[in-house]
Chain A
Amino acid sequence: MLGRYIKSVGIAELLLALSVLILVVVVAVPVLLIVWTALFVDGQLNIKDIVMVLSEPDTYEALKNSLVIAGGVTFLSTIIGVFFAWLVSRTDLPFKNTMKLLFLIPFMLPSFIGALAWKMLLSPRSGYVNKFLMNTFGLEDSPFDIYGLIGIIAVETMYLFPFVFIQVSGALERMDPTLEESARISGAGLLTITRKITLPLMLPSIVAGALLVALYSLAHFGVPAILGTEVGIYNIPTKIYERIYQSAGSFDAIRTGTILSSILVISAGLILYAQSFILKAGRFQVIAGKSMRPTLLKLRGLKMPLLVLSILYIAITVILPTVTIFMVGSLKTYGLEFNLENMTLDNLTYILFDWKMTKDAIWNSFYLSLAAAFVTMLVGTLISYVIVKMKVRGKFILEFLGVLPFSLPGTVIALGVILMWSGKFGINLYNTAWIIFVAYVARYMAFSLKSNSAALEQVHDSLEEAARACGATHWQALKDIVIPLIKPGMVAAFFLIFLPALRELTTSVLLYGPTTRTIGVAIYTLNEDGETVYAAALASIALVIIVVGQLVIKRITRSNVEGV
């Protein structure tokens, strides 16, 4: 009896210790190593080097570009996201529910595939749209040039605005309508209501969405790599990539990388701090429990124009690039006209069945995402459990470590993983799939923690206490009460990790070895090598996998929710 008690507690405690250990080893130590490497040379604090690296025009320029891109993308995404959220939640726009789903689609598209498509459409001399406009209107110069900061900001905005859209449309729908109504009864006009009531109430959601966009775009690799490097525009992740590849992997380059990474981490920290600061300034109970729908604004004459605008937006940002990718992916060679004679399915069959590199890439991405999603889900559940349910001292360290990966850019994680796992501490995972696996676990831990914590918070402590009172061990209570209740959260975490990992680029591009290319890396290197049609063909396969994956998730999560 006693033995069993010890044994069962032992398992729970062991798993607990294990998950804490994983968090420390996978997340904390690599980050500390980055800061350590940036600050210290041969064990001595070296500020001079840091100042030198930062005052180089190259690095300074990259830092500036990162900030300009993040600023521009955040600003535009917020405006577009809030506008469309308002349109689908608070007006009588026709086909609202369909439109709402449509606005979530850009979220599914990997932004670097979008960038690839826009490069094909809007590159100065050969872009299809440019060529069309030049031929139609007899222009001398191309009207658009996608290369450069403006192009990068535009393309990132297209695929990132749903972050804001989701947050704001959710909040708008759940908003207590009595607040606006009382203002109206008191004689306030629509503008005043919007300015004084609705916007302030929405501020937390807007800021939360904008923050996600800012964090993401600050450290995004794919779009600037495709649309910037060609014209000499680098942001921090692309600069780190270039440095590491051009310097033949010398330690100097890695050190420069760590200094730039530290700046990314600091910027991310500042963004998070700014968010909490803004949110503290005005905190309201905005969401009422009553099931009242806010009044809808009648668009009247604007109804059709706004519907057309929304549909056009989707057509231009989603359908046009997707179709372009599929069309180019079936061209015999890049630069030919689109007609049946020049189209072929050979690229697809070649990539799927004949070319080892692309076959490997699809397979690598698949098993890496599966393994990372599963492990991260389990570890995340345990850590969330400690954070949410347990009353242990020193919990705040776990909480901090849990939030940390959330603000860590993929590039930083990749560098940390290189420092940690290439033999310096006894384990050498360099050039193996394991190093990417470890990086994925670190990178997606935050997703798992968020999803699992949310699920756990809904399980009232009394349920578990009741089980314990009836004589169940800790482990039994966990297994029979808590886990079944949070299963939907765990499943959600699994897929929240599996799908993004499947198309991951930023981290794996710094970690891949000869046989461990991922789908993202393969598409990127194919594009870089000038195999544009193969890059497009592989991208179309990736898009199909992603769409099918999303549909499967929808089915699974739905049946799971019903099951509980």
Chain B
Amino acid sequence: MKKALVFLIVLSFVFCSIGSVSFAAEKLMVYTSMKESLIGKLRDAFVKKYPGIAFDYYSAGAGKLMAKIAAERQSGRMTVDVLWHSEVPDFYQLKGEGFFEKYVSPESKHIKSTVKDPDGYFTPARLGTLGIVYNTKKVTVPPKTWQDLLDARFKGGYGIANPALSGTAFMSIAMQANSLGWDYFQKLRANGARIGQGSGQVVDDTASGDLKAALGVDYIVIDKMQKGANIGFVYPKEMLVIPSPVAIIKGTPNLGAAKKFIDFLLSKEGQTIIAASGTLPIRSDVPVLKKYGLPTPDEAVKRAMKLDYLKTMKDKAAIIKKFDAVMKVK
């Protein structure tokens, strides 16, 4: 008994110290805003292909990832090797700060996207789309346009994820403010729209009926639909298309593994996994999940709301503040 306890304690100390240091030949730590249902499948396929690489990821909202990275930069102890999320302006920002390693993947010539970095510091690896997810029990006539959400039938029941936490929410707000104007949000607020938590939670809140409808990220919604949730999903004509760039952190000791991961992500194999989990690939030679109404990458790029990313980068804090001011008025 005593010996067993001492053994356990010694063991726990050993694990305490190797908790952060792994013995595999090559390591790779990806910080991503992709949820488990997407990054988990990519991990499985990648590890199968490269069993020598100890692959790990940290999945959290873009806001949290950036906070973690900032804290790591301050403490000088970097854990992240590859960054992959949907808040495009952050990538322009970090590129400007010289935080990324330049890498142009041989696969990148196939890419279809609204964003492309001519200097090759980051590469879009997925085209995220956002539509309106609605609870099929509470909403009998699906909304068709963004304006439909101003109807009385959505009163007090429309939710948008918190842009401070979620990159896709921030990008959507920036795009909608740009195309539909801030008074669109004022009208939404007048109709009782709410700020939720992360991009996953607003979908779950819609599935449970806490919200009637929400701004939903494609693969999160489709994952829940596949599991049988009572939700429907529609894209208004002007689409929210948000590329999720991936980039390598400058000075990473795992450069080789990082490049392999990006190549894999952009390859037909990687993109097929991405498409199968219900989001848009960045290659036109990969079929999309038609069943849930997803458009092809070409069509999505055509229908996408426009945005000046460099300007958005500068206005980021102001946009979040303005959104808070509009939505949080009691």
Contact partner of A248 among B67, B196, B202, CB < 8 A? B67
Closest to B60 in A: A525
Q: For the complex, give the distance between the alpha carbons of A528 and B196 in Å.
A: 10
Closest to B11 in A: A367
What are the residues of chain B within 8 A of A528 when measuring CB–CB? 197-198, 201
Q: For the complex, give the distance between the alpha carbons of A229 and B75 in Å.
A: 28
Closest to B231 in A: A335
A90 within 8 A of B: no
The minimal Cβ–Cβ distance linking B6 to chain A, given in whole angstroms, is 9
Q: Would you give the 0/1 interface string for A357-384, flagging 1 where the beta carbon is closer than 8 Å to chain B? A: 1000001101110110010000000000
A182 within 8 A of B: no
Q: For the complex, give the distance between the alpha carbons of A357 and B40 in Å.
A: 10
Contact partner of B210 among A125, A333, A513, CB < 8 A? A125
Q: For the complex, give the distance between the alpha carbons of A428 and B20 in Å.
A: 12
Are B66 and A248 in touch, CB under 8 angstroms? yes
Q: For the complex, give the distance between the alpha carbons of A514 and B57 in Å.
A: 7
What are the residues of chain A within 8 A of B205 when measuring CB–CB? 126, 530
B76 within 8 A of A: yes
What are the residues of chain B within 8 A of A335 when measuring CB–CB? 135, 204, 207-209, 229-231
Q: For the complex, give the distance between the alpha carbons of A434 and B209 in Å.
A: 42
Q: Would you give the 0/1 interface string for B176-192, flagging 1 where the beta carbon is closer than 8 Å to chain A? A: 00000000000000000
Are B75 and A371 in touch, CB under 8 angstroms? no
Are B77 and A333 in touch, CB under 8 angstroms? no
Indicate the size class of the contact surface on chain A: 35 or more
Indicate the size class of the contact surface on chain B: 35 or more
B29 within 8 A of A: yes
B35 within 8 A of A: yes
Are A244 and B9 in touch, CB under 8 angstroms? no
Are A374 and B16 in touch, CB under 8 angstroms? no
What are the residues of chain A within 8 A of B15 when measuring CB–CB? 363, 367, 433
The minimal Cβ–Cβ distance linking A515 to chain B, given in whole angstroms, is 6
A422 within 8 A of B: yes
The minimal Cβ–Cβ distance linking A133 to chain B, given in whole angstroms, is 14
Contact partner of A530 among B63, B64, B77, B201, CB < 8 A? B201
Q: For the complex, give the distance between the alpha carbons of A230 and B200 in Å.
A: 14
* A126-B210, A336-B230 known; A249+B200 contact, CB < 8 A: no
Considering only residues 210-240 of chain A, those with a C-beta below 8 Å from chain B are 229-230, 232
Contact partner of B77 among A230, A334, A431, CB < 8 A? A431
Q: Would you give the 0/1 interface string for B52-94, flagging 1 where the beta carbon is closer than 8 Å to chain A? A: 0000111111011011111110111101100000000000000
Contact partner of A126 among B29, B80, B208, CB < 8 A? B208
The minimal Cβ–Cβ distance linking B89 to chain A, given in whole angstroms, is 13
Are A515 and B12 in touch, CB under 8 angstroms? no
Considering only residues 382-433 of chain A, those with a C-beta below 8 Å from chain B are 422-423, 428, 430-433
Are B20 and A431 in touch, CB under 8 angstroms? yes
Are A229 and B68 in touch, CB under 8 angstroms? no
The minimal Cβ–Cβ distance linking B291 to chain A, given in whole angstroms, is 17
Are A246 and B164 in touch, CB under 8 angstroms? yes
Are A430 and B75 in touch, CB under 8 angstroms? yes
The minimal Cβ–Cβ distance linking B253 to chain A, given in whole angstroms, is 15
Are A249 and B19 in touch, CB under 8 angstroms? no
Are A432 and B20 in touch, CB under 8 angstroms? yes
**A-to-B contact residues, CB < 8 Å:** 123-126, 131, 229-230, 232, 244-251, 332-336, 342, 355-357, 363-364, 366-368, 370-371, 374, 422-423, 428, 430-434, 437, 513-516, 525, 527-532
In order of increasing CB-CB distance, the 10 nearest A-B pairs are A530-B200, A249-B71, A514-B58, A367-B12, A530-B201, A335-B207, A126-B208, A248-B70, A333-B227, A433-B19
**B-to-A contact residues, CB < 8 Å:** 8-9, 11-13, 15-17, 19-20, 29, 31, 35-36, 40, 43, 56-61, 63-64, 66-72, 74-77, 79-80, 135, 157, 164-165, 196-205, 207-211, 220, 224, 227-231, 328
6 contacts between A and B (CB under 8 A): A125-B210, A245-B64, A248-B70, A335-B230, A336-B230, A357-B36
